[in-house]
Chain A
Amino acid sequence: MDSTVEIRWHGRGGQGAKTAALLFGEAALSLGKNIQAFPEYGPERMGAPVASFNRISSLPITLHCSITSPNIVIVLDPTLMETVDVTAGLPADGLIIVNTKDCPADIRKKLQLRGGKVFTVDASGISKETIGRDIPNTPLMGALVKASGLLPIDSMIKDTEEKLKKKFASKPEVIKGNLAAIRRAYNEVIGE
């Protein structure tokens, strides 16, 4: 991986798109990659469409412009596909990962996407079962690792565990749930 991989996360305010980008960036850094993670700063309201971004590279990253042609797009909320052009700038060999119960073929049809690879995973369902709430961001990190092959899953989960331990020191059940969610989404994501 000599060239930089660019990732765009689409979510709604409060769903954790920013946190996912930060956690994934930190995990990639601890596995020796150069990273950037940044949110798009706009109307930061609960429920409003938001985006966040990653750059991951084996070489130093000096670009400081926006990401307009991401290699990978992740959609945290499938209803965003109705209002936001989630495939904007996605190249012919790009990947899109959607949190949905639908199969990749249906999503491909919905997005009228010819090229690229489409992956789907029921991240909301997984997070409800493992974390107890609809927090699709951490399971989608697992799906991202599977779909992209950017990082080894076990190391990524280990690093995320350390980060979550700091954040949720008083809630060990949250950490356990999140790690289980990542692992399940890694195993359950399907693509075509």
Chain B
Amino acid sequence: MSKVVARTGNEAMAEAMRQINPDVVAAYPITPATEIVMIFAKYVADGLVDTNFVAVESEHSAMSACVGASATGARVMTGTSSQGLCLMYEILPIAAALRLPIVMCDVNRAISGPINIHCDHSDTMAARDFGWLQIFSEDSQEAYDSLIQAIRIAEDPRVHLPTMVTTDGFIISHCLDRIEIVEDKEVKEFIGGDRKAANSLLDVKKPVSVGLLDLQDYYFEHRLPVAEAMKNSKKVILEVAEEFAKKFGRKYGLYEGYKLDDAEIAIVALGSTCGTAKVVIDELRAKGIKAGMLKIRVFRPFPAEEIAQALANVKAVAVLDRSDMWAGQGGQVFTEIRSALFEAVKKPQLLNYIYGLGGREIDQPMLRSVFTALQSAEKQPLVQYLGVRE
């Protein structure tokens, strides 16, 4: 039985954490993710969870503590954002290489400078090459649902990789919304009891060493399984999503197609922007314009073949990046999709819009302007910045 409640994105994530009841949480506060850990710390103080909460002096220490705790076989979670995530970068690839299924609540926020606390995807996108699974959420409901699924995905023996579930800073993290939450015992059943670690630092019968020096002779072999696990994770993500849908009724995939099947023009986007885009697409459809959207839910692993297939029959596609690679040739999502489509026989004409940096508004008129441009895509520049003053 689920119940309908009003929760902000941060409250929804904290609620999921309470229901997951991890063994260890190590975290350091940062806007706009602070509330997640603040609320969770209260659950710890009130005895609602059995978690060992480690209050640390920085995000670098938070992720280091998570790695240590996860290596003992514990179920470990944390939460952060922006500069906090940046401070974790040094440790993030270690968590992946050690195959530690740490689950992180990551609230997307611009990175300095200038200093800015609002939403864009720069922090998370810069962490895309560290061997973490990355799941984006359109709203609080998706964040709650994906966090519960993330435990199962990360801890699956075919995956054993750390996973971050993201929401958009303030837009979702601080917006009170209607969500359905399931009962504690249903979450417990879904997750399936304690984590079953293949190796544990605390298992005296099977001693292991963790975090060793590994040079030219074996480093390569020890990194490669991360690539293999990342490939395998697509199947696991879909299996877990299917089981979640059977139990709780809400369906998820690697991506969501919104009126995409017969679309002639479409956008690709991630996160909260997709919700606003749905309203714009409905309006355009009412006028007879065949508009659609491909919403990427899972950015790592990148569902390249699936996306190439889903976009094959669309005439023109605009990829919306809420971050820039500063490479002079478009954003991270754009370059991935362009690459995914390279071998395709049938493929759409592609455009890229970089938008919304530092929380810059993305509203219906702006999204409408993208669809208008798509109607004469051949006349448009390849990469444009949307909603920025010259």
Contact = CB atoms under 8 A, between A and B. Distances in A.
Interface of A: 21-22, 25-26, 29, 34-39, 41, 60-66, 68
Given A35-B178, A64-B171, 12 more contacts: A36-B175, A36-B176, A37-B176, A41-B174, A62-B275, A62-B276, A62-B279, A63-B275, A63-B276, A63-B364, A64-B139, A65-B363
Contacts of A63: 275-276, 279, 364
A34 B170 contact: no
Mostly helix, strand, loop or mixed at chain A's interface?
mixed
Interface string B211-235: 0000000000000000000000000
Contacts of A41: 117-118, 170, 174
Contacts of B175: 36-38, 64
A25 B8 CA distance: 12
A68 B362 CA distance: 12
14 contacts: A21-B176, A25-B176, A29-B4, A34-B178, A36-B177, A37-B6, A38-B174, A38-B175, A39-B174, A61-B177, A62-B275, A64-B275, A65-B361, A68-B363
Interface in B265-286: 272-273, 275-276, 278-279
Contacts of A35: 6, 176-178
Given A25-B176, A41-B118, A65 B364 contact: yes
Contact of B6 (A26, A60, A65): A26
How big is the B interface, by class? Answer: 20 to 34
Which of B6, B139, B273 has most A Cβ within 10 Å? B6
Contacts of A60: 178
Given A26-B6, A41-B117, A64 B176 contact: no
Interface in B143-170: 168, 170
Contacts of A64: 138-139, 168, 171-172, 175, 272-273, 275-276
